[in-house]
A and B are shown apart, each in its own frame.
Chain A
């Protein structure tokens, strides 16, 4: 009677068992890792726009303040998107007749808005308010990154709940004087540590740790 199994059978079986266990542990671990990658969160991925608008040119080159276009950032939940009219004054001189500006011209003619594609996307159940953040000393840069270096705007932060909580639990390190809100690449004046300044700003602006769920979820 021929033997049932070859010599390697045992090894194979052992291997199989080991692999199964490894998979049971490994798959969840992999997934937990995956959701922490920029790829999964959509960071650093250029978003196509109807007009090749370059923040770099406007912010760094022309030194236009963020608030010129995002005009409600200080008083409303939405930062506000520039209405088509905003572009015209300057662009009357340049580009307005250029091929890139077709959408702008159409919008001006029809009064229909230009449809920009969203770059920083929060879920529908998150109620983020720009006004309160910027007025408490959170700079644009803290969430939107060095916009002045972006030819096309990209998301540079995870925008996960954990990421929000990091700041909501320890605001101090992320604060800056409100006046410096739109400054790109801001760093505290020489000799002052970010933390110390932050602690002082927390007092000045009455900044609290905001960890109530309904602060963001309503």
Chain B
């Protein structure tokens, strides 16, 4: 039957976590949290627990069946008004770095994640991982109890068991005791590790993650003699060169960088039409093989496979140095500072050698170099963390030579604990395991069995470890290979801390007491740190302790409360370092780059949706379309049309990739604009753990990933898999089939110069259409409108997930997507312009346009979709009979239909994620973007209660709130001072399908690019 997967998913959810099951959990937890309340936190936990159970009992309120019972609070909670959500600050850690968040809680039930405006890595935005993390909290497939073999344990017993393991006995020296953790930036964890080392001098710590910054560390260690992290200020960057770097789409500071980059660009564009026309607009060059969100926004994108980026970088540096030398003769600038005489020759040779086979047209390199040189001091060269040390070395050098260091680029200490040391080399641990030196291995989160380099054969080595204990959120591959297992708390259930990329210490505070018998990694370490043998200490206690220590006892309750409240520790940003670049170390570094030509290379990338696989069980993320390929519920071997043609492969063909004698099958996906001679495959799929949602989805590329070539492998053999002589096919569930614009004026773009010459370029598309009817008077009261700036949208998808979380949007599964039944109210259309080989990409978020003359409204036979006085296109679910006429008549096709009863069979836990302010739709009704009407109405009611009008910025839609680049502006245009009015009045505003006269309330701002005049013809 249709959408098996969905049913498989939801039904088994229901079975796994029956209603009763969870209620018991919640109740049983309740005394647990209350009987031994940690100081200073009893009240809140208590309240949350009560809240949680009350919320559970009253779940009817947010499902279809109306509640029959009314449950007041047993005791009155001063800070809680039933029905009014509260927000708490916390942080989520991805890849070791923290992003600050504000989490919305309904009666103690976290339902929605927003960015923390006070946090440097967020500034109020939240990415897809953060947005979707709340679903993970309620994931019924999370592990619920500790075990020894198959016998279940309570956590405390598990902790005791740990102490009986060789090396871990109290009083022991820790010989043979090894810990394997994820790289961490948490001061608390660091402190605990310190304590454990004191107690067990011989104990060893190892850090492993499939994606890390060892390449950067290596380069900086070699060049600067110290491990430093480059920091960037994009608000001041005039020219940016991204070397295979998706600095806006992924990475620890991407939200911040995206915001900075976009804001500068926008101020330039906006000022164009204004008085001070001519403010410098930043220009972005991207050198990449696979499309990244950043690449889609680039003014010039050089299609180069990952393995060749080094040579391009070298060519650029070489060119820059030549210019410098020229300038030197002219006595213009002092190039000596750049490269000291003696080294100069060496450096030049090395560059010549490396740049030899740069697959880039000379004029391109020259133009770029000139541009960078002219922008000296206000340019940024940034390299992707996954690139080889050579590329990072070249990047350091470029910034150095261009004089960017100190202004737009500076260096800070690495927040990651012991980054660049041997402890970050998994190989060392595996050798020890093989040598039998490891009696006890404690794996704290992560999933090494699944994601360790295949040639290390971690699994094999693990067999030789007698006592292997794993603490993680899921019974995953690693758990299966370990005798002892204990469940880990979700971050929304945890106390803790971590650093942002710039070093700022961020607090992690729980929104809800653990749903199951779980602990955090810090609490696990505490077991060994010996603060108390049973690990009874709460992370909360540990955290306060560590802060008291840090502040040397002068730490007061008030400070603590304030810090927790803000989620950020004041002025903890890492200091600006100015390490000297040691040129002699430079040549050997870049010579080390492996030359790869004349064969197909295989590039491993982190997945924009499931990261390294740790979010693979999150249905929201699985169903979120990939930013560029638009593939859902799968990963694919992506390759360029030319390469595909050469290999005689079509999208959907299953191909076999063989690398160093290892084979792995994956469906092919032909993507315009991908680099030739290269295949990109995302990691994190093909899971085999107990995560029902993730299991069996996609192809596990870790099976091809070796220690030597973690990111770029090759040569790779590619063969179509045949079955009975016919190519084996695997249909990929993509949400967008056609990428051509068909010559339709759906997207408007122009270069900044064109725009300056003719600011009226969209005037034909933002005027009112003549009509025979009188226009309804939309000038009084609030009049809601939205603008979306195509110059800013990078298509990251944060808005889509945010919308899904806010509006209780169901998941339809792979089959549903294949049938084109995805429910996302807000989708991001991706079009390619130009030739198939080397096109430009443009993203267009598409949601209900809230047409003043909505085609959907007049065709609905039952008045289920009508217009409100404040200009909303209202969809009334409880009136809808489901003729679907509205969808047929919607030119934007943004309406969604409940083909099945998507909400009936979901687990009780998953019901807890539902937003009680939004109706959960039943089978057979239409739904669509409502402009987050629940937020509008609440704001209006609050304003009315205070006897005032709604303020500008008081109503923020979920998508707007999440957007890292602030591409979305929302508000009432009757308020002349509002940001929406400013945005609407931009000359480049236009409406999609203007000729239909639907008068949308959503307007798009034309995409303005800033190509280099020298390369104009390529733009």
Q: Do chains A and B touch in the complex (CB under 8 A)?
A: yes
Residues of A within 8 A of B (CB): 71-72, 75-78, 80-86, 107, 110-118, 121-125, 127, 129, 131-132, 135-136, 206, 212-215, 217-218
Query: Chain B 919-954 against A: per-residue CB contact (8 Å), 1 yes, 0 no?
Result: 110000000001001101100010011010000000
Q: Is the CB of B61 within 8 A of A107?
A: no
Q: How far is the CB of B62 from the nearest CB of chain A, in Å?
A: 8
Most chain B C-beta atoms within 10 Å of own C-beta, residue among A83, A85, A111:
A111
Q: Is the CB of A212 within 8 A of B869?
A: yes
A111-B74, A127-B917 known; A72 and B945 CB under 8 Å? no
Q: How far is the CB of B645 from the nearest CB of chain A, in Å?
A: 51
- B70 touches which one: A117, A135, A215 (CB < 8 A)? A117
Q: How far is the CB of A208 from the nearest CB of chain B, in Å?
A: 8
- A217 touches which one: B67, B876, B947 (CB < 8 A)? B876
Q: Is the CB of B945 within 8 A of A75?
A: yes
Interface pick from B80-88, B134-142, B210-218, B961-969: B80-88
Q: Within the assembled complex, what's the spacing in Å between the Cα atoms of A82 and B876?
A: 33
Q: How far is the CB of B322 from the nearest CB of chain A, in Å?
A: 64
Residues of B within 8 A of A (CB): 34, 50, 54, 60-76, 81-84, 866, 868-870, 872, 874, 876-879, 917-920, 930, 933-934, 936-937, 941, 944-945, 947
A115-B69, A218-B917 known; A77 and B83 CB under 8 Å? yes
Q: Is the CB of A132 within 8 A of B72?
A: no
Q: Chain A residues near B64 (CB, 8 Å)?
A: 124
Q: Is the CB of A218 within 8 A of B76?
A: no
Q: How far is the CB of B35 from the nearest CB of chain A, in Å?
A: 12
A113-B54, A132-B945, A218-B934 known; A124 and B61 CB under 8 Å? yes
The residue in chain B whose Cβ has the minimal distance to the Cβ of A111 is: B74
Q: Is the CB of A112 within 8 A of B74?
A: yes
Q: Chain B residues near A215 (CB, 8 Å)?
A: 937
Q: How far is the CB of B347 from the nearest CB of chain A, in Å?
A: 65
Q: Is the CB of A218 within 8 A of B933?
A: yes
Q: Chain B residues near A214 (CB, 8 Å)?
A: 868, 872, 874, 876, 930, 933, 936-937
9 chain-A/chain-B pairs, Cβ below 8 angstroms: A80-B72, A84-B72, A84-B74, A111-B34, A117-B69, A121-B66, A124-B62, A213-B866, A214-B930
Q: Is the CB of B82 within 8 A of A217?
A: no
Q: Is the CB of B82 within 8 A of A78?
A: yes
Q: How far is the CB of B940 from the nearest CB of chain A, in Å?
A: 9
The residue in chain B whose Cβ has the minimal distance to the Cβ of A132 is: B941
Q: Chain B residues near A77 (CB, 8 Å)?
A: 83-84
Q: How far is the CB of A125 from the nearest CB of chain B, in Å?
A: 4
A77-B83, A113-B54, A118-B67 known; A131 and B941 CB under 8 Å? yes
Q: Is the CB of B68 within 8 A of A118?
A: yes
The residue in chain B whose Cβ has the minimal distance to the Cβ of A212 is: B868
A78-B82, A124-B64 known; A213 and B876 CB under 8 Å? yes
- A122 touches which one: B63, B66, B945, B947 (CB < 8 A)? B66
Q: Chain B residues near A115 (CB, 8 Å)?
A: 69-71
Q: Within the assembled complex, what's the spacing in Å between the Cα atoms of A80 and B933?
A: 24
Q: Chain B residues near A124 (CB, 8 Å)?
A: 60-66, 919-920
Q: Chain A residues near B69 (CB, 8 Å)?
A: 115-118
Q: How far is the CB of A139 from the nearest CB of chain B, in Å?
A: 17
The residue in chain A whose Cβ has the minimal distance to the Cβ of B76 is: A83
The residue in chain A whose Cβ has the minimal distance to the Cβ of B932 is: A218
Report the 10 A-B pairs with minimum CB-CB distance, sorted nearest first.
A81-B72, A212-B868, A111-B74, A78-B83, A125-B878, A83-B76, A77-B83, A113-B71, A116-B70, A213-B876
A76-B82, A83-B72, A212-B870 known; A125 and B945 CB under 8 Å? no
Q: How far is the CB of A181 from the nearest CB of chain B, in Å?
A: 14
Q: Chain A residues near B872 (CB, 8 Å)?
A: 212, 214
A124-B919, A125-B878, A218-B933 known; A111 and B75 CB under 8 Å? yes
Most chain A C-beta atoms within 10 Å of own C-beta, residue among B82, B868, B877:
B82
Q: Is the CB of A129 within 8 A of B941?
A: yes
Q: Within the assembled complex, what's the spacing in Å between the Cα atoms of A81 and B69?
A: 12
Q: Is the CB of B919 within 8 A of A76?
A: no
Q: Is the CB of B941 within 8 A of A113?
A: no
Q: Chain B residues near A213 (CB, 8 Å)?
A: 866, 868, 874, 876, 879
Q: How far is the CB of B61 from the nearest CB of chain A, in Å?
A: 7
Q: How far is the CB of B23 from the nearest CB of chain A, in Å?
A: 12
